Structure 1
Amino acid sequence: MKSAAAFVVLACLLVVHVQGQARPGVKRCLCQGSLVNMVRLQRVEKIEIHPDGPACENMEIIVTLKNGAGQKCLNPDSSFTQNYIKKAIQDRSTQ
């Protein structure tokens, strides 16, 4: 009887330990699939920049389009995106 109780306690501790471990292969990136190199600025309602972190190892730039046209993920390495970020930083620093 004592050995059965010890086995149940050990099994519960093992289950709790396994569930608490992070899964290294699982990423929770918001941008899945292909990335867009440029978007017309007249159609942009909002831009969100998500730096790389523990959830996703890629920097993500998500553009919300006007009139409910959806969201697009910008390629952070494209020249359009780099220029847009530089201009936004300059505009913020002058305000």
Structure 2
Amino acid sequence: MNSKILSVSVIVFLAFLTIIEGMSLRGLAVDPRCRCIETESRRIGKHIESVELFPPSPHCKDTEIIATLKSTGQEVCLDPSAPWVKKVIEKIIANKKP
């Protein structure tokens, strides 16, 4: 009987730790997975209002580039291997250098 109680207690404790860890990551505005499932490779440069670049992290091995569109405010994931996206990234990096 005691071993069953101990086993259930350990399982409940581990589940609690898992839930708390997931909540703490979201509370820090860290998503525990990649943001981009699909990427856009077509040229949409004239529709872009802003671009955010997210380097690889422990939660996502990919570099993610998220553009916000002017007209709708919708966020679109861009394909980092598309030639026009590479040029956008180069311009962003060049503008950030002092």
Tell me the TM-score normalised to structure 1 length.
0.69
Q: Which residue of 2 aligns with 1:90?
A: 94
Task: Indicate yes or no: 2:37 matched with 1:32.
Answer: yes
| SS of residue in 2 equivalent to 1:45 | strand
Q: Which residue of 1 aligns with 2:69?
A: 65
**Contiguous gaps of at least 5 residues in structure 1:** none
- Which stretch shows the higher mean deviation, 79-88 or 10-19? 10-19
Aligned 8 A contact 1:38 1:81 in 2: no
**Contiguous gaps of at least 5 residues in structure 2:** 22-31
Post-superposition, which runs of at least 4 consecutive aligned residues in structure 1 deviate over 4 A? 18-22
> Identity over aligned residues, as a percent?
24
Q: Which residue of 1 aligns with 2:52?
A: 48
Q: Which residue of 2 aligns with 1:9?
A: 6
- Alignment RMSD: 2.5
Question: Which one has the largest radius of gyration?
Answer: 1
Cα distance in structure 1, aligned partners of 2:86 and 2:16: 40
Task: Indicate yes or no: 2:82 matched with 1:78.
Answer: yes
Query: For this pair of structures, how many residues does the alignment match?
Result: 86
- Which stretch shows the higher mean deviation, 5-14 or 45-54? 5-14
